[in-house]
Amino acid sequence: MCSSLAERVQRATLYALHAGAGDFIAKPKGRDFTRMSKELVFKVRAAARAKVRLPSGKKAPHSAR
């Protein structure tokens, strides 16, 4: 999940994590893009290595099949 609201709207962030988001990152503000881009690359690589399973009894969304 990537959101400009991640810092302000904690409930939405927690909901996304509970719903299956692997992590979250706040969109950069001002000149903070360099630091954020390094963090984003790190998190995308970590997500690519993650072994993701659906909870038992749930089917993958149609677009994921």
pLDDT at 11 over 70: yes
pLDDT band at 13 (very low <50, low <70, confident <90, very high): confident
d(CA 19, CA 45): 21
Q: pLDDT tier at 62 (50, 70, 90 boundaries)?
A: low
Of the listed ranges 6-15, 17-26, 32-41, the least confidently predicted one is 6-15
Q: What is the predicted pLDDT for the residue at 59?
A: 64
Q: 49: alpha, beta or left, given left = phi > 0 and alpha = psi -120 to 50?
A: alpha
